[in-house]
Amino acid sequence: MKPEDWRRIGLRDNEYEMILNILGREPNQVELGMFGVMWSEHCSYKHSKAVLKTFPTTGPRVLQGPGENAGIVAIGDGLAVCFKIESHNHPSAIEPYQGAATGVGGIIRDIFTMGARPIAILDSLRFGTLDDPRVRYLFSGVVGGIAGYGNCIGIPTVGGEVYFDPCYQGNPLVCVMCVGLLETEKIRLGKATGAGNLVILAGARTGRDGMHGASFASEELSEASAEKRPAVQVGDPFMEKLLLEACLELIDGGDLVGIQDLGAAGLTCAVAEMASRGGTGMEIELAKVPCREEGMTPYEIMIAESQERMLMVVTPEKEAKVHAVFQRWGLTSTTIGRVTDDGLLRIKMHGQVVAEVPARSLAEDSPVYYPASSKPAYLERTAELNLAEIPQPADFNTVLLQLLATPNLASKEGVWQQYDYMVRTSTVVRPGSDAAVLRIRGTQKALALTADCNARYVYLDPYVGGQIAVAEAARNVVCSGGEPLAITDCLCFGNPEKPEIYWQFRQAVEGISAACRSLETPVTGGNVSFYNETKGEAIYPTPVIGMVGLLSDVTKACTLSFKAEDDLIVLLGESFEELGGSEYLAVIHGRVQGKPPALDLAKEKALHRVVLAAIGQGLVRSAHDLAEGGLAVAVAECLFEHGIGARLTLSTNGLRPDSLLFGESQSRVVLSLPAESLPALRELAVREGVPLTEIGRAGGDRFQIYVDGVPRVDLPVTELKAAWQEAIQC
Amino acid sequence: MKFGVIVFPGSNCDLDAYHLVRDVLGAPVEYIWHAEQSVAGFDCLILPGGFSYGDYLRCGAIARFSPVMPAVVDFARHGGLVLGICNGFQILTEAGLLPGALYANTSLQFRCRFTTLRVENTDTPFTRGLAPGQLLSIPIAHGEGNYYVDPATLQEMEARGQIVFRYADREGRITPEANPNGSVGNIAGICNETRNVLGMMPHPERAGEALLGSTDGLLLFKSILDYWKEGSR
Amino acid sequence: MWRAEIKVLLKKSVLDPQGRAVENALTSLGYTNVNRVRIGKYLEVTIATPDRAAAEAQVREMCTRLLTNPVIEDYTFTLVEVEA
Amino acid sequence: MWRAEIKVLLKKSVLDPQGRAVENALTSLGYTNVNRVRIGKYLEVTIATPDRAAAEAQVREMCTRLLTNPVIEDYTFTLVEVEA
Ligand SMILES: Nc1ncnc2c1ncn2[C@@H]1O[C@H](COP(=O)(O)OP(=O)(O)O)[C@@H](O)[C@H]1O
Ligand SMILES: [Mg+2]
């Protein structure tokens, strides 16, 4: 072996040294390739492992934390919810449709691998600015790919988010979350136990596509990666639908000892992880692996990342039945090996050993790095925001119209109308509100689902930004009537070997952890995507939070829209002079500056208690959290569905009018309710010490805002809605 | 009466139709696996929505050759009630049980949203419980619901009352804006000459519970039940 | 052995939205000298039969039965003799 | 004026789910002598330019910029001279 041999596949010299020590000899090409993919950042988390250990991962409801294919939390009635989010950024940057589609396919496999029936998908997307034709191509391609795969396999895409910022111009983010339901005792793990048990490979045939996808995902996007293009593959949602049904049937029948999907690092990763988790070994005959192409080498078969494949461990008695089930579903399944007790992966081709390595060494003993970290210099620059330099807008009508029409705030209907968000007829709160709500058949319960992250906040203060990402997700869940249960996270950052990037990463994780502790939403799993850079420029640190909440009574599900004339409009929470990091500052004044709004987790939690009680007792007709665009934008969003207007009368209490209307102070929710409910609501608010302000009434067909008696905004709802609705064409 | 929901590989609204009939309508219903060769014992067959065989090549093109299809065709020819929803509609046209064809929406995009349907013919087993011109709120979810049929055939179909539903605006006007996919004459659903086979792109099984936003879809299934009770066939 | 190369297009009478969309895209990219853009399917099928006439007949049959929908589509094809 | 007839197929190494599904369908319809079924796109574009070389260059450019994605697709085309 020469240095270029291991460097070519992304292994460092010290890592090659480790391999020599593990094997006590030189690896051969196949073995080297296996280490190469397994020790890639994507599979080994070598730069993030140490930090991820600091997440709070336990709680009374947590049945499965990080480490398996997906996390699981109990929701009563013997049921549990299984969920996970994952990114497919780099493939999507090169082939947006297939990159996004295979991302959806991959995360769905993670869910049914655990024995859960996938019931929902959410997509969290970030692109450059839409004036760039390449970005428009990526945008429509990615959305088309998610629609193409999700719609075909019949799992509703019920929520997500879309942001546009120059920092994503060359490096879009495509994170997909899948949520599944299962009966608690049907949980299956990716474990290979019982020496003598058989190893079965099912689904698609193995082709040369996706070569080195894992190591590819662990490199900065450069001109060079154009040459690695074969790393992108075509998804086959039809095949996956059959695979899904067949696997769930087998799991239901208790016919499997263990099951694991083939994702990054293909067969190598699946056999290594299953054996390692089971403390066993495996003997695999590659000649038995059904291949799509002639003359594939052992090396290629071991690292190919062909989609829509599953690996199972079964007892010899069940072998025939398992094959029969796959056959009825029109799928190929092959027994390719058996479980051994010597902890070794013994890979053979036509009976001849081509690789022999300890399973643990691939899955567990990968290097762990503790990169240097240092506070980024840019924070000095961004921190100083002198509001005196920011002129008050002359005309608040124009500002509000401009804000509603900015891609980050505008309606995303152009996106989600391309998704089948109704299939399985359980979607009670559809896209367009805060969190989506799905009923759980056979119970009175429902799930509230959301995916959120304001990356600009994280950029301006990774710690606070990380906290806010969790808090906003929880606020969305709460506004839909759900009690936040747990999160999954998709941590998208730049190159971790740069101290300033690693500092962002550590701070963000600390912030997320702090928020998860106080809001009692443990981290049950997630995914890290580093090296999101183009030409050395990193994206904003973007830790996307996927959250699951529970409603005990589906009929209590709440949406953000005002529903009746003359309803009172009430603001919960407090508004401060906080324009830092706001959409208003960025769009109207062209500044990404200041500190993000402050977050007090105790106040946040208190707010949640008030809103949940108010919704639970049926006091309110709508609830909507205040996010980008602040109070004025949040209330505007409440008017559009039913075309009901509103008249707000606000007092500045020393705040700048623009802070009052467009500032993004945290822990605030706007409610609408019949007047007679107000006393009861006030009582709740007082008990929890949450400030409550009556700010106006719903009604008419105009949106009017008076500030200290001065009319600041007065526009027809139809005009506002048009600006908001027509901004994004996809 | 007993409903049968045919399950093709890649069907994914089979479960929704099944639940609506069993849990909301309260009628007996069973799944029928596409490999079955008989549909004996069933009184109404539902070909559900989804992506049979991935909708590869053309929507419904491969499914129409499923082992169960000869039995379905035979059932229909003898007056049995057949309801094709979305992909089911596409399969019925491919199988020649309904005229015309469905292809890509003019937007070239998948569309999922509630639409307003105007009832054009109430003299069918599926719509007898409805009023002429009645407006129904029923969602669509398809990428290829653009119905085409040659002008001559279209005239005959109009004359024979084979147009059952059209996309309309909230006032019941048949406008281009109300047409979500470019289908000729805003056609959303049609029946065969003998009116025992109905194909529609919108999903009545998704509009059966207030919790989900509309109960208008249920009216179709109630019509079928009434028709059956009166034994008027 | 024959490789059938089959081109499938929407009938002229059927509106071709995809063709129109691509034509617009091309024009907006500056290719103002293009028109009559039509988009359809291209299929390749290898048929093991010694005899060209038999191959032709089989392609026609497969096209009418499965590969195309005569209601909206027209097709043309060519046969290329290939090695087994 | 030239009519470019462009055939687009997925690269040989890339999975072609449609092709596979259709091959299975044809086989179960009894056409057991078919294989290597591949399904792609067929495009016709009419280009107003006197000169064949210019037309060829333009087609190549349009294919790489818009009509195909070189990441997963290969294309071939022929030019047919047509009346304006
Ligand atoms: N990519 C997407 N896919 C599906 N739904 C989306 C997507 N982007 C936004 N939505 C939906 O649009 C609504 C508004 O999104 P967003 O502005 O992010 O809400 P919030 O600010 O409350 O998190 C939500 O219901 C969200 O689920
Ligand atoms: Mg919200």
State how far the Cα of D52 lies from the Cα of C30, in Å rounded to an integer.
19
Q: How far is C63 from C6, CA to CA, in rounded Å?
A: 9
Name the β-bridge partners of C80. C3
Ligand 1 within 6 A of CB of A431: yes
Q: Does the pLDDT at position B109 exceed 80?
A: yes
Q: How far, in Å, CA of B221 to CA of B165, rounded?
A: 15
Residue A131 makes CB contacts below 8 A (sequence gap 6+) with none
Given a contact cutoff of 8 angstroms between Cβ atoms, the answer to whether A501 and A490 are in contact is no
Regarding beta strands B81-85 and B197-200, do their DSSP bridges make them parallel or antiparallel, or are they unpaired? parallel
Residues in chain C closer than 8 A to B148 (CB atoms): 14, 71-72
CB-ligand 1 contact for A561 (6 Å cutoff): no
Longest CA–CA span in chain A (Å) reads: 87
Give the CA diameter of chain D: 49
ipTM at complex level: 0.94
- Ligand 1 neighbour A162 (Cβ under 6 A): yes
pLDDT number for residue A229: 37
- Sequence-distant (6+) residues with CB within 8 A of C60 are none
D37–B contact, CB cutoff 8 A: no
Judging contacts by C-beta atoms under 8 Å, the chain B residues touching residue C69 are 58, 61, 94, 101
Report, as an integer, the average pLDDT of B158-167: 98
Structure-block tokens of residue B195: 């009116």
A→B interface, C-beta within 8 Å: 144, 147-148, 151-154, 236-239, 241-242, 329-330, 416-425, 427-428, 430, 439, 441, 554-555, 730
Q: What is the DSSP letter of A44?
A: H
pLDDT at A286: 98
- Residue A552: DSSP 8-state: S
**Chain C residue nearest residue B63, CA to CA:** C66
Residue D26 has what pLDDT? 97
A698: helix, strand or coil: strand
- Give the integer Cα–Cα distance in Å for A696 and A713: 14
Tens-digit pLDDT profile for residues B31-56: 999 999 999 999 999 999 999 999 99
Distance of CA D19 to the CA centre of its chain: 14
Strand residues in A388-457 grouped as ranges (E): 427-429, 436-439, 446-452
C-alpha D16 to ligand 1 mean position (Å):
33
Q: Which of A85, A164, A179, A412 to mutate to test the pocket of ligand 1 (most atoms within 8 A of CB)?
A: A412
CA A611 to centroid of ligand 2, rounded, Å: 14
The whole-number pLDDT of residue A220 equals: 52
Q: Is residue A412 lining ligand 1, measured as CB closer than 6 Å?
A: yes
Tell me, what DSSP letter sits at residue A312? E
Check if B209 is active-site: no
CA distance A93 to A328: 38
Select from A172, A233, A247 the least CA-distant residue to A203: A247
C82 Cα: distance to centroid of ligand 2 (angstroms)? 61
C-alpha A251/C-alpha A239 separation (Å) is 18
| Helix ranges restricted to H, A56-164 | 89-94, 96-112, 133-153
CA–centroid distance, residue B172 to ligand 2 (Å): 35
Q: Per-residue pLDDT for C29 more than 60?
A: yes
What distance in Å separates the CA atoms of residue A532 and residue B44, rounded to the nearest whole number? 55
Helix (H) or strand (E) holding B208: none
Enumerate the residues of chain B whose CB falls inside 8 A of the CB of residue D21.
53-54, 56-57, 62
Report the alpha-carbon distance of residue D22 to residue D24 in Å, rounded: 5
Query: Which residue is listed with tokens 């996004």?
Result: A100
Token reading at D55 = 């037309």
C71 part of contact set with chain D, CB < 8 Å: no
The verdict on C79 touching D (C-beta cutoff 8 Å) is no
For tokens 């969290």, what's the residue?
A124
Phi, psi (degrees; rounded to nearest 5) at A445:
-85, 170
pLDDT value of residue A218: 54
Instruction: Kindly list the partner chains of chain B, i.e. chains with 3 or more CB atom pairs below 8 Å.
Output: A, C, D
Q: What is the pTM of this model?
A: 0.95
- Give me the catalytic one of B13, B44, B86, B191: B86
Among A289, A272, A116, residue whose Cα is nearest residue A191: A272
Say how many residues make up chain D: 84
Which residue shows structure tokens 């000649």? A287
Q: Check residue A208 and give its pLDDT.
A: 82
Task: Tell me how far CA of residue D42 lies from CA of A464, C9, D39, in angstroms.
Answer: 53, 8, 10
B203 carries an active-site annotation: yes
Structural contact between residues C66 and C58, judged by C-beta atoms closer than 8 angstroms: no
Sheet of strand A436-439: strand arrangement: A427-429, A436-439, A446-452, A542-551, A483-492, A523-529
What are the average pLDDT values for consecutive 10-residue runs of chain A, which has 730 residues? Answer: 88 96 96 94 94 97 94 97 97 94 97 97 98 95 98 98 97 98 92 96 89 54 44 88 98 95 94 96 98 89 93 98 97 98 97 97 95 97 94 97 98 98 98 97 97 98 98 98 98 97 98 98 97 95 98 98 98 98 97 97 98 98 98 98 98 97 98 98 98 98 98 98 93
Active site residue B142: no
Distance CA A379, CA A387 (A): 17
CA distance A55 to A163: 26
Can you point out the beta strands (E) in B92-157? Answer: 101-103, 111-119, 135-142, 146-148
User: What tokens appear for B102 in the block?
Assistant: 């469905």
- Which two three-digit tokens encode residue A713? 């905004």
**pLDDT at residue number A189:** 86
From chain B, the residues in CB contact with D17 under 8 A are 54, 56
Could you report the per-residue pLDDT of B56-105, keeping only the tens digit for each? 999 999 999 999 999 999 999 999 999 999 999 999 999 999 999 999 99
